Amino acid sequence: MDFTETLPNYVCTEMIARYASESARPNWQPIDVVSAEVLYEDHKESYRNLTQNGRKLNKKMEDLDGSWSTGEFGTILINLFNPATAANFHYSKDSRSAGILAKVYDYSVDHRHSTWTVSVGGQSYMPAYKGSIWIDPATARVLRIEMQAYGFPEDFPDDHVETATDYEFTRLGDAKQYLLPVHSENLACQRGTNNCTRNAIDFRNYHKYTGESTITFGKDK
């Protein structure tokens, strides 16, 4: 909660390089590059000015064909550490992330308490998931989070979904540094096949968002 409460309103550019592979040994072929402006305002994220291979799209992120994700700006972390999620944590090892020697904790969340929604082909499911988090012992901030879903119903289109997000301290035009996502990777595979998609996401050009206003001058009489 402290992580999100201290974040100011900001805007950044999200670049999503999307790939697909149809072989047992992954051979990733580029599909397209999607970009969007991400506006984080009043602790909520929204997406605008979507483009696909440089061409403007008149649609919302959730209406985008293919694979996409949201929540990297705090929702994932808030849900994981919410007591209602009942995540089970245990210390695993020490490991470096973003040049910092971090404490790595493994965790698991059962299906009953999951808030991670995976949607494929008009179907949605909140799977059980497990993973690891890298925590900076000096600041108690999460530097990296990995999530792997499991236990999908047999009629669900995908049977393998995982994601990982890296966070680093970033300046937003002032002297302060804020822990923000800088890179994310998402992987999803269709049930019983070698057909998989991978998204490599970079977050760039962070700066504070101070709102927008329009001034209209009336005609002189």
pLDDT in tens, 44-94: 888 889 999 999 988 777 777 777 777 777 778 888 999 999 999 999 999
pLDDT at 221 over 50: no
Condensed to tens digits (0 to 9), the pLDDT of residues 85-102 reads 999 999 999 999 988 999
State the average pLDDT for the chain: 88
Task: Judge contact between 179 and 154, C-beta under 8 A.
Answer: no
Cα–Cα distance between 43 and 6 in angstroms, integer? Answer: 10
> What's the pTM value of the predicted model, to 2 decimals?
0.86
pLDDT at 149 over 50: yes
Cα–Cα distance between 131 and 1 in angstroms, integer? Answer: 21
Condensed to tens digits (0 to 9), the pLDDT of residues 103-129 reads 999 999 999 999 999 988 788 999 999
Q: What is the pLDDT of residue 51?
A: 93
- Give whole-number Cα distances, 184 to 13, 24, 144, 214, in Å: 13, 23, 10, 35
Cα–Cα distance between 205 and 41 in angstroms, integer? Answer: 16
Condensed to tens digits (0 to 9), the pLDDT of residues 13-39 reads 999 999 999 999 999 999 999 999 988
3-state secondary structure 139-152: CCEEEEEEEEEECC
Task: Judge contact between 48 and 40, C-beta under 8 A.
Answer: no
